Structure formats: structure tokens, C-alpha cells
Chain A
């Protein structure tokens, strides 16, 4: 039979300060772990939600992002006329020839420049992105130097509010509308007319063609048609996949950094827990002897001390997680070094992240408590009783 859990809890309460300090160390580790995992998940979620399963993106073969891709006007026309593309409300084909360029803009309140994605859109572009909603103003007219800014951009960059102008590519561009695309990468973009932008940037080629499939199950056929046509040196990807790939390098980096920090920090926390538990054992040697004399087995002593250490871990883990959960209220904007552009995303706390964070805390508790608990359980009763 086990020693009642209340014994372990009361023992922890009795040494409140050391319990709090040990749990605090663990809380910090869990905070770091949860925060980096939440960051990686937020990034993935933002980029995955940017894409739609119904859409396919056609880019130059091997181009890691739209910025590094080029699709000639002829190639774009071939793609546009391929079978399997859905029809829009006005009867036209839902395929958009787009150009993506990076420009440097200044953030509000600082003089720091940052890269921003300018997307040249065509008539079908908005219809392809159901998540995009115009919140202010109107869409840019074709053939003009009008632009609309994503909500994240309007908030954070100088000259990106409605009615303001931005100077780039030797021209003045007027912001005629603001759009919101929820927690997707589009909210961190500026859109303008594709032809005007190509002219201004003196670029003769598009970056990509986005198309809505009449049936998402036809993707493999479309992909085959694109990739087997000798006139096209292009490749087709599902839009969801395309954006997931763009988040891969960054989220992998975040996860590796998070795990490394967690491992290094947790070593410190484990040693802290071990010192606490060894001193708990040392202070209670005669108690251990008494419990053994009363008829509690070695395994009960082991369990009671491990329980103390695990409870400490649980307290620390919960505290760290609660602290980290507040990060959900923050939006981070950073350079996605796969696309070299600024991307705004939030910390995302999922059930699995919470579970993993608590597990990290429990593992620390277990690792810190195991040796002291084994020491306690292996004591000879007579020796333990003598140490009053």
C-alpha cells in the first residue's frame, strides 16, 4: 500500500520556499519550451492557412519561393488555357498571373527598413483567396499606380495606411484600400496591378500562376500536364503544400533552437530539483526509517519521494504553461528567411504543445527526483532511525 499522497503534498507545503524556487526553475524551462513551440506552430499555421487545398501554384522548376521564380508570358498563357481550371462567377477561368517582388519599407516609429512582399495581381486573384476581405476602400484599378495593403502592413509600415502613398520603383503608389486575410501570410503583403508593377519594376516575366482547380482531386493530372509539357520548365504544387514548405526552414530552426535551449536549461533545473530532493531526503532520514519500521515497503518510500518531485514538476510546468499562454496575445513580425520577407504571425498554443510542455516538466521532476528517492528507499531502517 502506498503512503498517502497528502504526506507528499504536506511535505512540499512545509518547505514552501524551496518548493517554489525549484518549481520556478522548471517553470522557466517550460516557458522557453512552450514559447518556441508555440512560435513554430504559429508560423506553420499562418503559412498553411495562407494556402487553399483547391488552389495550385505554378512556379519555375526548383524555385524555393515566388520571388525567385519566373514564368514567361507565353508559359503563363499555356497554363491559363489548360483543362481542369475552375470557372469564375463571370465565366472567366480562375487563374491569376502574378508577380511577386520584394521592396524595402520603413516601419512606423523606427527608421529600420524591412522587406515587404508586393504582389502584382490580376482580375482572378481576389477570387482565388477566399480569406481575403477588403476592410477599407476599394480594389486597385488595372493600369494604375494604385495599391491595397494587408492589415499587418498598414499597421506597421510608414505610408501604408489608406490615402497615404508609398514610393518605390521610381513611382508614387497610392493606397486605395486595406484588406484583411486573417492569420495568413497575405495580411503581410501589398497588392497592386500586375501589369503596372511589371512595368515599374521593368520585369518582363511573371513570378507564378495561381489557379483554382475545378476539382481538387484533379491536382495530379494538372501537375502531370504542367511538368510533362516540354515548353514549360515549371512545376505545380498544391498551394497548401507550397506555403507549408515556406514555413519549414524557419519552423525547423525555431524547433531546433527551442529543443536545444530546453535541453540545456532543463539540465540546470534537473540539478536544482535533485539538490532540493537530496536535501529533503537528508532532512527526513528518521522519518523514512519510521515509515519503514511501521511497515511501509521500500517501493512506497520511493513512490512518495518521486511523487513529491513530480508534483513540483507539475506545479512548475503548469506555471510555465500559464505564463506562456499569455503570449497568444502577441503578434510577432519577423523575417521569414526562406522568402526574405516580413511575416506577421502569432504564438499558437495547441493541446499537443500543452501536453508536451507538461511532459517536459514531469520528465524534469522524474529525473531530478529519481536518485534521491532511490537513496531514501534503500536506507537501512536501523541506520535511518539512528539519525535523529
Chain B
């Protein structure tokens, strides 16, 4: 059997609450295959967001390893991890996290500033991605002038613009109405199917989770057994 796209082994993480260490993740072992759409579910405080943050390289584990495409990201230093994130991970947040002072186009363009790319190329690529999420008409709008669903689509375009291999989404539909949520989920599904991106989504919503290939439940920091 070939190595999984993402291989997590013995991953643990606790937070300090005053003097006491509060375990959030306990000995997590998880394999994610190439092209997989994974939904992480579980009650609040189960550790699903923490697991997502660790895979995305924005938080540090206490123990264990996260092997992604042959690199154990837990061994990377601060600067290397930052560079790794910009190359491999696209982020979709519950509250979109667009920069309010930048237009839709500038928001999508922002991650490309880190790449060796001319201004013209950046603009073209950002416009292309906005077209892909159906927002060609909204390039010059500021986040405040867009609906929640539109903002999340801009965020998806921003997450995709650097052509990362992994898309992480933390409650991407948590702040949206039913119709917008459906639109955003379909878009994520498309990204997964057409572009072969690994999508890892944390969600409360069973309807959202239905879009995924695999649903895993976390409870009190422990991953439930994989379905057979």
C-alpha cells in the first residue's frame, strides 16, 4: 500500500489553563488519501478545530508527527513552516477573514504577493479565480459590499489562487443561510473533484458533512474508529 497523502501519528496537544494542562487531542492517528474530501465532526471542544489547525501548520503539536507529501511539518521551524503554508495550504474560515480595506480582487491577489510573479500575472490569475467562483462582476467590490455567500466565495478563490494541495475549511457554512451554504459547499466539492485538492472541513452541520467522502468524529480529543 502506498503512503497516504497525509499521515498523522500519535498526535497530542494540550492547552495550559493556569497551572493545569488541558488535553485537547489525545494520540490521534489519521490517514488522508490523495483527493479526499474529509469532514471532521464533533461537539464543541472536541478538538476538531485544533486538529485542523495542526494539519494546516498554524499551531504546534506537543507530540506526534504530521507527514504531508513526505514532509513531517512538526519538525519545521517557524520561517519554513510559514513558507510551507503559503505553498501547500489554502484557508477558508467561518467568518471569511477577508481584508476589509482591500477589494475582492486585491484579497484574492494577496497570497500571490508571496510568489515570484509580476503584478500583471497576479491580477490575471486573481481575476481568473474570481471568474471561477462566479464573481467576475464583483472584482472591485469591497468585502463590506458583498453578501456573506459572496464573501465566502471570494475566500475560496483566495484559498485556491496559489494552487495549494490542501484546502482547510473551519465551519465554512457556519455564518451562511441555507442557499449560500449550499452554493459554497458545491463549490468546495467542485474544487475537490475537478482540481483534485484534498479538502479537510470542520463542521457542526450534518448536511455540510454529507458532501464529504469521509466523515470522522472527534470526541473529547479522541478520534472515533474509522468506518469500514
Contact = CB atoms under 8 A, between A and B. Distances in A.
A295 B58 contact: no
A13 B142 CA distance: 14
Contacts of B78: 298
17 contacts: A1-B113, A7-B101, A11-B101, A14-B100, A286-B97, A290-B91, A290-B97, A291-B99, A293-B56, A293-B58, A293-B85, A295-B85, A382-B58, A385-B58, A388-B94, A388-B95, A388-B97
B82 A292 contact: yes
Contact of A297 (B53, B82, B87, B97): B82
B93 A295 contact: no
Contacts of A291: 99, 110
A380 B78 CA distance: 11
A294 B86 contact: yes
A10 B142 CA distance: 12
Contacts of A292: 58, 82
Interface residues of B, number: 26
A124 interface: no
B102 A297 contact: no
A296 interface: yes
B111 interface: yes
A14 B101 CA distance: 7
A295 B114 contact: yes
Nearest 9 Cβ contacts at the A-B interface = A295-B86, A10-B101, A290-B97, A381-B58, A388-B95, A382-B59, A1-B114, A294-B111, A295-B85
Nearest to B110: A294
Interface of B: 53, 56, 58-59, 78-79, 82-83, 85-87, 91, 93-95, 97, 99-102, 106, 110-111, 113-114, 158
A225 to B, nearest CB: 74
A382 B53 contact: yes
B101 A294 contact: no
A10 B144 CA distance: 14
Contacts of A385: 58, 93, 97
Contact of B91 (A1, A287, A294): A294
Given A294-B110, A297-B79, A388-B95, A7 B86 contact: no
Interface string A349-360: 000000000000
Secondary structure of the B contact surface, majority rule: helix
B78 to A, nearest CB: 8
Interface string A4-23: 10110011011000000000
Interface string A282-317: 000011011111111110000000000000000000
Given A382-B58, A382-B59, A385-B93, A290 B99 contact: yes
Contacts of A382: 53, 58-59
A3 interface: yes
Contacts of A297: 79, 82
B99 A295 contact: no
Given A13-B101, A290-B91, A295-B86, 6 more contacts: A286-B97, A289-B97, A290-B99, A291-B99, A293-B85, A296-B114
Contacts of B101: 7, 10-11, 13-14
A298 B53 CA distance: 18
A4 B80 CA distance: 21
A291 B106 CA distance: 13
A18 to B, nearest CB: 14
Contacts of B79: 297
A364 B184 CA distance: 47
Nearest to B83: A295
A271 B209 CA distance: 50
A336 B197 CA distance: 80
Nearest to B94: A388
A388 B113 CA distance: 24
A37 B212 CA distance: 71
B120 to A, nearest CB: 15
Given A290-B97, A294-B86, A10 B102 contact: yes
Contacts of A296: 82, 86, 114
A293 B91 contact: yes
B97 A4 contact: no
Nearest to A286: B97
Given A293-B58, A381-B59, A3 B113 contact: yes
A7 B56 CA distance: 25
Nearest to A296: B114
B52 to A, nearest CB: 10
B144 to A, nearest CB: 10
Nearest to A8: B101
B228 to A, nearest CB: 34
Nearest to A11: B101
Contacts of A381: 58-59
B93 A290 contact: yes
Contacts of A295: 82-83, 85-87, 111, 114
Interface in A1-56: 1-4, 6-7, 10-11, 13-14
A380 to B, nearest CB: 8
